Amino acid sequence: MITKEQIDKVKAVVRNVPDFPIPGIQFKDLTTLFKDAEALAIMGDALEELYEGKGITKVAGIESRGFIGGAMLAERLGAGFVPIRKPGKLPAETVQLDYEKEYGTDTIEVHKDAIDSNDVIVLHDDLLATGGTMAAALQLVRSLKPKKVYVNFLCELTDLKGREKFPADVEVTSLFSFAGTEGK
């Protein structure tokens, strides 16, 4: 069992960078977590504990920070890993989705044959801010008709209320959270 003390240890190594990439943003730099061997191992254990026994067949990670924890979780669960990428990166046939961002629109895509109706998916990204990217990824993955989709983040910025973007039938988890608007 992962303890609160262990999760606090992981949270404590996240670096807060004020005013990155623009003034007013408190950027949660998770590279300081990934480079810390003990924190990384606890992170893997905590992710595994959340999803073991749920019949997960694939973890889908969002480019690019979602590839790190996503691949780690997939390996821990004995599941496959599926990358969700920006346009033009995946070589075979894809399905795409355009979505609104704060400024302008963006597109994500996934290989059409990466997910099928037998799959139970964990969609993973590093951080939940407004939730716009993950909500789009959820819609994209659901268009391939998997059996079930779970949504997971390492870190959640609770003040931004990104959770409210997800339908009630989708289980959303995060390992730890920050209020989001203030520095550490």
Task: Give the interface with ligand AMP as residue ranges (CB under 6 A).
Answer: 25-28, 65, 125-133, 157, 162
Count CA atoms closer than 13 A to 9's CA, side-chain side.
Answer: 14
DSSP letter for each residue of 136-164: HHHHHHHTT--SEEEEEEEEEEGGG-GGG
CB 128 within 8 A of CB 134: yes
Is 65 one of the catalytic residues?
Answer: yes
Supply the minimum distance, in Å, between the C-beta of residue 62 and ligand AMP: 7
Q: Which of 69/131 has CB closer to ligand AMP?
A: 131
Q: Which of 127/175 has CB closer to ligand AMP?
A: 127
Is 76 one of the catalytic residues?
Answer: no
In the chain, the amino acid numbered 59 is: V
CB 54 within 8 A of CB 120: yes
Catalytic option among 63, 65, 75, 171 = 65
Question: What are the residues facing 85 on neighbouring strands?
Answer: 109
Supply the minimum distance, in Å, between the C-beta of residue 17 and ligand AMP: 8
Q: Which of 39/127 has CB closer to ligand AMP?
A: 127
> Any idea which residues carry the catalytic annotation?
65, 102
